Structure 1
Amino acid sequence: MSKKYPSLSPTLIERYLTHLREAERSSHTISKYAHDLTTFLNYLNGKPLTKANLIEWKSTLVASFMPTTVNSMLVAVNGYLSFMGWQNLKVNLLKIQKSIFTDESRELSHDEYIRLVNAAKIQENERLALVIQTICATGIRVSELRFITVEAVHLGRAEISNKGKRRIVFLPNGLRKLLTVYLHKQDKTSGAVFTTRTGRPLDRSNIWRDMKALCQSAGVDPKKVFPHNLRHLFARTFYSVDHDLSRLADILGHSNIATTRIYTAECGSVHAQQIEKLGLIIT
């Protein structure tokens, strides 16, 4: 009699994804897990789900992807294994030494942010210019843009509900004025401020695509241009004014302050300048 191994199939993947939905995990997380589990299923290609095959798959990932990407894929598979009660099959994540500096080649600067907004204005894409400013001036996630409603603009604050948590985000007066003018032009009296032609709230792919289209005219490296980098810029700018990490974590909706530290990490050149100012070299 052949040995029966734990298994992975489209049906079992869907069962796990249903569990994630019921746990109110974000749609982005669910989509990511679905992709990673399907990738692993395709790799198995009929082979049994064993610890040896998991370790072998991990090795192929290491050869093809960055460590952070590898770990994110392993987290998805480990989550499935835990859900199925197969903890003994889980594989260890790669150990990554955290850098105390950000990669300047990937972080959006304030000047580049301004150039992106101006490029959108020059292209007469008022909606995109305001989307960029709204995300950057509030620090919200791109998935939370739908909570910026006509009512929120009138009140000066939006109530954000994400990952089972609620928080209040205040809208700067300058942003409210710009959005009020925009709403008047659009003849919008209720609902989400930023919508498609069919009236649906803009999603991540709409915004990501439109932002990438600005890169050449704005003179900004495309690898720096994506919605989440606007959130990073907000965090760094806020922290430079108010060095209260705990408060910033609340504003961003972070459960773990360690995540907030990543957002506020300075670039290596800034650190080097600070070291030079210490005056500890005697000549």
Structure 2
Amino acid sequence: MERREEECLTPGMIDGYLGSLAGKGRSSSSLESYRRVLKGIYEYLPEGKTIREGTGAEWKSYLEGQGFSPVTVDCRISVWNGLVQYLGHREWQMDDFRREKGEAQPELSRAEYLKLLSMAKHMGKEKAYLIIKTLGGAGMRVQELPQLTVEAVRRGMVELEYHNARQKRVLYLPEGLRRELQGYINREGLHGGAVFRSLEGGPMARSSINYLVAIVGREAHVDEGKATPRGLWKMYQNTCMGIRADVSALIEQAYQRMMAEEQLAVGWDA
């Protein structure tokens, strides 16, 4: 079957995608967050609501121009990628976030993430513990780990560069993690450079990081498809989206209460 070069996005397509997510067990708060992002995509599109291969990149540039934080942009692009995959256009996904070919990756839950941390601690694998926490707790991508340096830990923030320094983002380390990283640095006698290193002294290879996480995952009885750096990153994104959905719901409730109080005070029939 010949692939279309463009599609007309309809509310029915969006509802269908949300229905597929609900069928995978997504929480109501996550679904509401997805719905808002998808509504934003729909409203961004010009008359005709046509999407094509370059639409994701154009929307990303628009979001950045509106001043959204890199984490927020990443989360929204993740929704775009899921939508176009659902529509049968994996080739329209943004390359930075495109999944490996094959079946969709099972998703790591927050409880399973905590199991990984607990098991790494139980096994005495401090490096694995810190890598898991940096990926899943702080939201760093595995390819960015070499940029987590001794100097960055001292500052409490990492200035990350990717796409040959054409794009940048700043990641602030949670204080608890920063203290743990500093303790590890002190015990390892590191004075500069990458925090996570190979036996030869250079930054750890991705294959070694994958292996460390997988070992902990097996001992923690977490599905091997979930106990991966990619699974940790996706869990971080889903957690952020759920929190934003909860905060948005609280804001809406507070606003409705305020309107009700004003209605009692100055409503037409008050």
Q: What TM-score, normalized to structure 1?
A: 0.49
Q: How far apart in 2 are the matches of 1:98 and 1:174? A: 41
- Residue 255 (structure 1) aligns with: none
**Of 160, 177, 180, which aligns to 1:178?**
180
Deviation at 1:202, TM superposition (A): 1.1
Deviation at 1:98, TM superposition (A): 4.0
Q: How far apart in 1 are the matches of 2:136 and 2:167? A: 21
Q: How far apart in 1 are the matches of 2:169 and 2:245? A: 20
- Give aligned pairs, total: 147
The one-letter code of the counterpart of 2:213 is M
Deviation at 1:205, TM superposition (A): 0.3
Change (3 A) 1:151 1:222: same
Change (3 A) 1:234 1:97: closer
Deviation at 1:104, TM superposition (A): 9.9
Deviation at 1:121, TM superposition (A): 1.6
- Residue 171 (structure 2) aligns with: 169
| Residues 185-234 of structure 1, C-alpha deviations (whole Å, 9 max, x = no match) | 00112111110121111121001112111233201111111101111111
Change (3 A) 1:228 1:105: closer
- Residue 223 (structure 1) aligns with: 225
Q: What TM-score, normalized to structure 2?
A: 0.51
| Residues 140-184 of structure 1, C-alpha deviations (whole Å, 9 max, x = no match) | 210100111111111111011111211111111111011011111
Q: Determine whether 1:108 maps to 2:116.
A: no
Partner secondary structure for residue 211 of structure 2: helix
When Rg is computed on C-alpha atoms for both structures, the one with the higher figure is 1
Change (3 A) 1:121 1:104: farther
Q: How far apart in 1 are the matches of 2:86 and 2:105? A: 19
**Of 211, 214, 230, which aligns to 1:212?**
214
Partner secondary structure for residue 137 of structure 2: helix
Give the alignment's Cα RMSD to 1 decimal: 2.2
- Residue 134 (structure 2) aligns with: 134
Q: Where does 1:1-283 land on structure 2 (aligned, <5 Å)?
A: 97-98=86-87, 106-163=106-163, 164-243=166-245
Change (3 A) 1:159 1:129: same
Percent identity reads 33
Q: Which runs of 5+ in 1 are unaligned?
A: 1-94, 245-283
Q: Which runs of 5+ in 2 are unaligned?
A: 1-83, 89-102, 247-270
